[in-house]
Amino acid sequence: MDYDLLFLFFILHPYPMTLPLLLLALLIALPLGALFHVLRGGNGWRLLLYLMLSVLGFAAGQALSMWRGWYLLRFGALEVGAGMIGSFIFLAAGDWLSRIETNGKSGV
């Protein structure tokens, strides 16, 4: 997909993302990442990973719901339900991928 078209989609959508909605999305996504860190544990780098994954997942869920026209727990133009589902999916996948350990032996 062309990035200019994607940009125009979010700007010209009937409910465009404004700065207050973006701040509200961050206010929802960042505590989700922090709560996931409290539940799963880890160091400071893992906290940063969870916060980043939560924000990316929330944005992906929001974008997917806007693109497909899905509505689940809508707050104004912000699709909170789909954003939270996307956040949880990204957090679970990121946690699973970050905990993979290598055996340290070369197979060559």
Give per-residue pLDDT as tens, 24-77: 999 999 999 999 999 998 888 999 999 999 999 999 998 888 888 888 888 888
Q: Given this model, what pLDDT does residue 12 score?
A: 56
Whole-prediction pTM value?
A: 0.78
Residues 6+ apart with CB under 8 A from 107: none
> What tokens does 36 get?
């996931």
SS (H, E, C) 34-49: HHHHHHHCCCHHHHHH
Radius of gyration (Cα) for the chain, nearest Å? Answer: 16
Q: Can you list the positions of beta strands (E) in 28-106?
A: 74-75, 78-79
What is the rounded CA–CA span in Å between residue 74 and residue 30? Answer: 18
